[in-house]
A and B are shown apart, each in its own frame.
Chain A
Amino acid sequence: MKKTFFDGRSGSRRRSFLKPTEDPLWLRLFLGAVAIGFIAILLLLPLALVFKEAFANGVSALWAAIKEPDTLASVRLSLIAAGIAVPLNMVFGIAAAWCITKFDFPGKTFLVTLIDLPFSVSPVVAGLIYVLVFGAQGWFGRSLADNDIHILFAVPGIVLATIFVTFPFVARELIPLMADQGRDEEEAAATLGATGFQTFLRVTLPNIKWGLLYGVLLCNARALGEFGAVSVVSGHIRGVTNTMPLHVQLLYDNYDYAGAFTVAALLAMLALLTLALKSLLEWRYADELAAAHRR
């Protein structure tokens, strides 16, 4: 039989065609294994160990460690610090993202750089800045002491340090999102007679709510977990100025491993709760999310 041009393609050996974007099976399995292995060893295993250590002496020992007054005080302080810092930074982040993405003005790039500052500065330095400003030898130290106002080694200092460190989270999340969305819808709202506030509430906010939620959750996680900056301004007074991360270290340094791992597990629980909340909201509003991404 004479060989035709088409024989090469319709020959006995069937070829399985790959999509142009598809890689061979072995490579997919290999990359998958690497990713899962990496996550398991570096993320899941330590997390599991924290919980294992916390439960090492049984549930009653765990409960006793939690009911320790100093531990409860540290939980309360962490929640207070996050409870003040997160709403403030949310308002600040929205305001900053709004003015950076919806208006043109000189000094805009400088403002963006300033917002990034807490990311690039080591948290310890951030804490030291507050010592320089509010400490006994600092700029306002004398007048603060004269008026019996305590900022350093007290709750206000811890809140300030937490605000500084978690400053960029919401703004950083929103700026690219809002820049991508442009100003068209806001302009349309203005020509339709909406005031600035109505435009924000009815047009801008619904468009950014998912990004905002994500930013707030990240901000909250960091506010609860912040160690460096808070450590400098706290003074480590047990039951008074110790936040949860500081308390973990204090217990650990005093060879109270069970206590340390209990508080660490509590901290981890708060983080997991945050993530669960995010996933729940994403699942609950999946339709809306998809609709927002379609154009």
Chain B
Amino acid sequence: MSLTVDSVTKKFGRFPALNGASFVAPQGSFVSLLGPSGSGKTTLLRILGGLEFSDSGSVRFADLNWLDMPARTRNAGFVFQQYALFKHMTVADNIAFGLKVRPRNRRPSHTDIKKRVTELLALVQLPGLEDRYPSQLSGGQRQRVALARALAIEPRMLLLDEPFGALDAKVRKELRTDLRRIHDHAGVTTVFVTHDQEEAFAVADLVAVMKDGCIEQYGAPADVRRNPRTAFVSEFLSA
């Protein structure tokens, strides 16, 4: 039941975004993909989410050939840097979206959906904001709603693309603590993309430092910090 990424490559035109990235993450772990911009971390995350397609390589998750499945059947919650909330829907409708689009036989009843929305809003610490529109929320609140929306589908995997990139330092810290708490509560395998090493080390069980489409070093935060394997990693961490 672990996530195995094996030599994934991807080119955009002639530019190689991923040059054979590989890592293994145990079920329920929290992995950070860390690296400077252009290192391929977002591309790898989008491939995991089914929003981008790899040229070669394989991904296995819980005995599934992950890359052969379309995004909508992967059941992987995705959180975007720019929130990507549905502007024309209330907070409650945003969170309920993934439940409402299920086929009739798997769709929860109206009252169950409503209950679930209330629970999720409590979980992300925004109780009572059901009827607001995204435009009436602050950036931090929007990202909490986006997180609740991704969790509503009871995801097998949670993918976060620089989720706190557009927020100020104080809100970032609050949110990452909450994210870790929610991760532990849900026990879902989480992949988290960031260029902020402090954030990556504070929140993750495993850190993959990326450069030029490759994973330079992969391991527990303490190990990576103590024994940087390449000059790039030690330089990036001391920056």
Contact = CB atoms under 8 A, between A and B. Distances in A.
Contacts of A185: 84-87
B70 to A, nearest CB: 8
B164 to A, nearest CB: 17
Given A184-B82, A202-B86, 17 more contacts: A184-B84, A188-B84, A188-B85, A190-B71, A190-B72, A191-B50, A191-B72, A191-B74, A191-B76, A192-B77, A192-B149, A193-B102, A198-B101, A207-B88, A292-B88, A295-B87, A295-B135
A15 interface: no
B107 to A, nearest CB: 11
11 contacts: A185-B84, A188-B84, A188-B149, A190-B50, A191-B77, A192-B97, A193-B102, A202-B97, A291-B88, A291-B133, A294-B87
Nearest to A188: B84
Contacts of B97: 189, 192, 194, 202
A18 B145 CA distance: 43
Contacts of B27: none
Contacts of B230: none
Interface residues of B, number: 31
A203 B87 CA distance: 9
A185 B71 CA distance: 14
B169 to A, nearest CB: 23
B80 interface: yes
B102 to A, nearest CB: 6
A195 interface: yes
With a 10 A CB-CB cut-off, give which of A188, A198, A202, A206 has the most chain B CB atoms. A188
B105 to A, nearest CB: 14
A187 interface: yes
Interface of B: 49-51, 70-78, 80, 82, 84-88, 97-98, 101-102, 133, 135, 146, 149-150, 152-153, 159
Contacts of A194: 72, 97-98, 101
A290 B97 CA distance: 23
A291 B87 contact: yes
A188 B159 CA distance: 11
- Looking at A185, A191, A198, A292, which has the most chain B CB atoms within 10 Å of its CB? A191
Contact of B78 (A187, A292, A294): A187
Interface string A272-291: 00000000000000001001
Contact of B101 (A184, A193, A206): A193
A166 B51 CA distance: 35
Contacts of A195: 72, 101
B72 A187 contact: no
A191 B51 contact: yes
Given A187-B51, A198-B101, A193 B80 contact: no
Nearest to A184: B84
Contacts of A192: 72, 77, 97-98, 101, 149-150, 152-153
Contacts of B71: 187, 190-191
A68 B73 CA distance: 62
Minimum-distance CB pairs A-B, first 8: A192-B98, A184-B84, A294-B135, A191-B78, A194-B101, A188-B84, A190-B71, A206-B88
Interface string A226-262: 0000000000000000000000000000000000000
Contacts of A187: 51, 71, 78, 80, 84
Contact of B86 (A198, A203, A295): A203
A190 B72 CA distance: 5
B225 to A, nearest CB: 32
A147 B88 CA distance: 52
A195 B98 CA distance: 11
